[in-house]
Structure 1
Amino acid sequence: MSVINFVIDELTVNRLTKNMGWLETYIPEVATRLEGTDFSVVYDQEAGFDLLHIHMPLRLAYRLSNNGDHNYPIIYHGHATEDSFSVGRGAKYSLRIWFKKIASKSNIILCPSRSAEDYFRTLLPGHTIEQLNYGINLAKYSFSEESCISFREQYGIKDNELVVSCVGGISRRKGIDDFINISKRNPELKFMWVGGEYTDNTGIDIFYKMFARQGDISLKDLPDTILVTGYIKDIPAALSASNIFFFPSRHETQGLALIEAAANGRPIITRDLPVFREWLTPGKDCLMGGSEEEFDSCIRQLANDKELRHRLGREARNSAEKYHDINKTSQRLGQIYQELLD
């Protein structure tokens, strides 16, 4: 049995952020399915493994990928690009150089979308790169009436309230400024942001803000009309309690929260970005907008049309099943491991 070393640099990540996102969803699901085949998954090991799979390009990844004595193949997973961070040009340049240093040591770069693939092909021309969609446990994220009822009771949401939700960290990159403005335009609706600030560490938070473009948004900036849950574990329940999923993020390498909402059968409104059009089609399984006015029109359209909400939600679930089944993703990943180890 081959040992795969997933490098997420957990100690460093825990110091930098409390927003674990896909590290707590995608990674464990993939690992569980790999464990049922010819592979054993370990985390952040310095030695005693057969293949290095870098998920977080931090200090541990740099050290292991630059170990001149290593005899293991390396996979670099392009979960993030420089645009995944709300920073200025100077910081972006530094991120680009850092990503390039580590990714260049890999045998193959895996990217969750064609948009991310294009970025890394520009960064490292001629390098072996493959696009591999994120997969999720579709059954886990399916709609649950029971979860809907219990979640609404827990957060004081009335049965007759129409809830517009988003899942993500509080930042301009995630589009929370548009979310706030749309909530002000629609006071008759309940808006819910599932997530919080990226860190509780004051020093790190100040550091983030120093490098953020145009400043950034914090909890104190949110109006009382928006329910903020903070980071919670039961994302499927929060989605089940929602009537509309509004995802105005300005940049994603794929957007795991969007995939989870689709799997839950939520009618989706999202920013019109190429990365989302790779698996979503406006009018068929979602609505898309590019401005505050367009978002507002989409919100009103769905709020006033229950049949449209049901149709878009049903088609979103079908698209999630087609493109983001964790079993298909894990199967292909296992094949890539075997190809590198043979």
Structure 2
Amino acid sequence: MKILLYLEAEEFLSHSGIGRAMKHQQRALDLMGVDWTKDPSEDYDILHLNTYGFGSWKMLKKAKKAGKKVVFHGHSTKEDFRNSFVGSNLVAPFFKQYLMRFYRAADLVITPTEYSASLLRAYGIKCPILPISNGIDLAKYERSLEKEQAFQEYFNLKSNQKVVITAGLYFKRKGIDDFVKVAERMPEVTFIWFGYQNLWTIPGWVRRIVKKNHPKNVLFPGYIKGEVFEGAMTAADCFFFPSREETEGIVVLEALASHQKALIRDIPVYKGWLDTSSVSMASDIDGFVQELEEILEGKVDKTAAGFDVAQERTIEKVAHELVAAYQQALEL
């Protein structure tokens, strides 16, 4: 069995959750000893599509014509497309119909959670839809004093400085507006938003938040990977993720794997695998501030239970599920 992993516009998407999911797929297949390629010119048994551009559609049609099985990864839904790019809400219904062309043509669909699987089933997709986590590499997020020092030096942080971090694109869907509003209520705390998005692809009011309409205690350093980000995950006082819609939320898994205290918005995607025993949850500004204050005062620590959740979604466990899905696709 050989898998063609296809990610259209890989360079553009490499910093996104989809890009990280693709890397996790490669790691999972390596762990299982399954042959894979990213080169469409090579022979393969299964095409695993991660994107839905015109190039992806062309690859899908070519694979079907050659009698290959096609697995489509449902990273996106109409629901998580909304409140993102300029005009996304206007075109979201058309985007859904466009997505359905891919889903209906696939032999099998993989999507990260039961919640996102339920959305796709509600679209009327008839092929098998399997919820399989994107997975997490626990070893990558082990605590490292060197990484923590790199993070603290990069931002010139004092040893007693309270720091709250998050990661994501500059989208309303990601809760960038609420992140800043919470920071305004807590001026003594440093808030850092890791991530980047071309400013001309997002609505003007979001662009203004990033460029100037935010308090001094909010930092937008852009996309940073490696030891600085990984050090932030363990050295910060809380990972605050106010996203309004996700298909899973890889960065939440990264925070849990880092033994980091996590505060998230209470939304349906977490039902069944995250609750208030492993993370803090709230639904509005007042709730976020209250939960965050308790975390920063040392009254709440759910990191042990959060790490248990991450352990249930390790890349090793996901690897077995992924290969089983491929074998199922071959038998269809």
Q: Report the TM-score, using the length of structure 2 for normalisation.
A: 0.90
* 2:297 is aligned with 1:301: no
Q: 2 CA distance for matches of 1:159 and 1:144?
A: 16
Residue number among 19, 36, 42 corresponding to 1:41 in the alignment = 36
- Counterpart of 1:258 (choices 232, 235, 252) is 252
The number of aligned residues is 322
TM-fit CA distance, 1:158: 0.9
Partner residue, 1:153? 153
Equivalent residue for 2:61?
66
Residues 72 and 24 (structure 1), Cα distance of their counterparts in 2 relative to 1, 3 Å cut: same
Which residue of structure 1 lines up, in the alignment, with residue 320 of structure 2?
331
Cα distance in 2, alignment partners of residues 127 and 83 from structure 1: 20
1:68-217 aligned at under 5 Å gives the runs 69-85=65-81, 86=83, 87-196=87-196, 198-199=197-198, 205-206=199-200, 208-209=201-202, 215-217=205-207
How far apart in 1 are the matches of 2:281 and 2:104?
36
Unaligned runs of 5+ in 2: none
Task: Tell me which of 296, 306, 310 is aligned to 1:316.
Answer: 306
Structure-2 change in CA distance of 1:339 and 1:277 (3 Å): closer
CA apart distance, 1:33: 3.2
RMSD in angstroms over aligned alpha carbons?
2.0
Change (3 A) 1:38 1:72: farther
Match of 2:261 among 244, 256, 267: 267
The runs of at least 4 consecutive aligned structure 1 residues that moved more than 4 Å come to none
Deviation at 1:22, TM superposition (A): 3.0
- What letter is aligned with 1:144? S
How far off its partner does 1:147 sit? 1.5
Cα drift, residue 88 of structure 1: 4.6
| Residues 54 and 75, structure 1, Cα contact 8 Å, conserved in 2 | yes
How far has the Cα of 1:89 moved from its partner?
Answer: 4.3
How far apart, in 2, do the equivalents of 1:215 and 1:122 lie? Answer: 33
**In the TM superposition, what is the alpha-carbon distance from 1:6 to its structure 2 partner?**
0.9
CA distance in 2, matches of 1:339, 1:123: 22
Alignment gaps of 5+ in structure 1: 200-204
For 1:285, the equivalent position in structure 2 comes to 278
Relative distance call for 1:19 and 1:341 in structure 2 (3 A) is: closer
**1:248 Cα deviation (Å)?**
0.2
| CA distance in structure 1 between the aligned counterparts of 2:88 and 2:168, rounded to whole angstroms | 21
- For 1:313, give the aligned amino acid: T
Question: In structure 2, what is the Cα distance between the partners aligned to 1:277 and 1:336?
Answer: 23
Is the 2:242–2:264 contact (alpha carbons within 8 Å) kept by the matching residues of 1?
A: yes
1:134 maps to amino acid: N
Q: Residues 32 and 320 of structure 2 are in contact (CA less than 8 Å); yes or no, is this contact kept in structure 1?
A: no
2:215 is matched with which residue?
223
Q: CA deviation at 1:231?
A: 0.3
Shift of 1:143: 2.5
Name the amino acid aligned to 1:292: I
Partner of 1:247: 241
Provide closer, same or farther for how the CA distance between residues 37 and 326 of structure 1 changes in structure 2, counting only shifts above 3 A: closer
Q: Is the 8 A contact 2:115 2:269 kept in 1?
A: yes
Deviations, residues 66-122 of structure 1 (Å, cap 9, x unaligned): 235221111011011122222454300121111101111111111101111011101
Deviations 1:280-322 (A, max 9, x none): 111x1111111111111111111112x523xx12221111112
- The alignment partner of 2:164 has SS state of strand
State how far apart, in whole Å, the 2-side matches of 1:123 and 1:18 are.
25
TM-score w.r.t. structure 1 length? 0.88
Q: Deviations over 1:38-75 (max 9, x none)?
A: 52221251552211001111112211222352211110
Q: Separation in 2 of the partners of 1:96 and 1:316? A: 33
